[in-house]
Amino acid sequence: MESLRETTELSPTNALAFTASVGIAVGPSDGLKPDLLLRNADLALYRAKGDGRGTFRFFEPAMDLQMQTRRIMELDLRKALPAGEFELHYQPVVNLASGDISGFEALIRWNHPDKGMISPAAFIPLAEETGFIVPIGEWVIREACATAAKWPGDLSVAVNISAAQFRGCGLMQVIVGALATSGLHPSRLEIEITETVLLQNRETTLAVLRQLRELGIRIAMDDFGTGYSSLTYLQCFPFDKIKIDRSFVKDITENAGSLNIVRAVAALARGMGMTATAEGVETREQLERITSEGCNEMQGFLFSRPLPAHELERLFLSGGEARKATGRIIAA
């Protein structure tokens, strides 16, 4: 018994590309009844799609346990938002030229009542697949704006927006409402999107981005270099910032390929009047290298891990202004 589904993807050149994922269950070892075989084939299909699509997988008993675990997490996820289990941590972004903290990126955390702190990598993909990312994302926007409104006026807050949020029709209203309620000036809010967002409903997405820009909100391209990295994205919309993925920064001192990518992206950003921000900076050697290659900003554990708002304010905000990063580089 095979469970096969075809998925259609739109390439950056707007050409249609068809891929197929296949899940396979074989009787009698995987079941004697047709409904059980079909169920197990669907579990194998789910694994095939999770492994990158365009492939096939045979059913394994462990898949049943994984699916049960997934269902439990999905049920917990439904209850987490109304129960107030989510919280935001903020990671400082440092201007390399001045040594000032220029802002903070808001990063969601799930404080599960039984399992403790759950990594975003464990629940964000599930939230996106089930659609829960939309109400969760709306909460993040409102919470981040409310928190940032208490900071000194020269500090910004960055919020990640998923493709699912752009597919809905209420993103603009949510952002405008969050700004109005909090009193945060639009210029202090930065929206981060990935290339995946532009692959889906590109014209609609661009229209929303232009509306956000008209309000004065800054727009950043996150994780640049890990997807299609099509330069047409940078041509069709004037991003304020390009964020260089941590995977390149991690190997910048040992891998010539990573170094060349960081160098090229920094030069590209400089030529187009955009800020180049290096993510995941963890060592002084990485810091020195990204600085010499022309990056404008950094964030990473070398300076600080993401922190709850109260801890961040105690460490970095005092006397109505942000403390300088110079001399405060730490391994957190």
Could you please state the CATH topology (level 3) that the domain comprising 85-322 is classified under. TIM Barrel (3.20.20)
User: The tokens 């928190």 sit on which residue?
Assistant: 147
Comparing C-alpha atoms, which of 90, 138, 86 is closest to residue 112? 86
Q: Which pLDDT tens digit goes with each residue over 194-205?
A: 888 887 777 888
Tell me the three state secondary structure of residue 92.
Answer: strand
CA distance 323 to 33: 67
Contact call for residues 248 and 261 (beta carbons, < 8 A):
yes
pLDDT at 4 (0 to 100): 40
What is this structure's pTM? 0.80
- Domain positions in the chain: 2-59, 85-322
Comparing C-alpha atoms, which of 196, 192, 141 is closest to residue 164? 196
Which H or E run contains 7?
Answer: strand 2-10
**HSE-up of residue 99 (Cα within 13 Å, Cβ side):** 7
**HSE-up of residue 13 (Cα within 13 Å, Cβ side):** 3
Pairing of strands 2-10, 16-24: antiparallel
- In the predicted model, residues of the chain with pLDDT beneath 70 are 1-19, 30, 43, 50-53, 60-68, 225-230, 319-332
- Tokens at 34, concatenated: 């047709």
- Tokens at 116, concatenated: 């403790």
pLDDT at 53 (0 to 100): 66
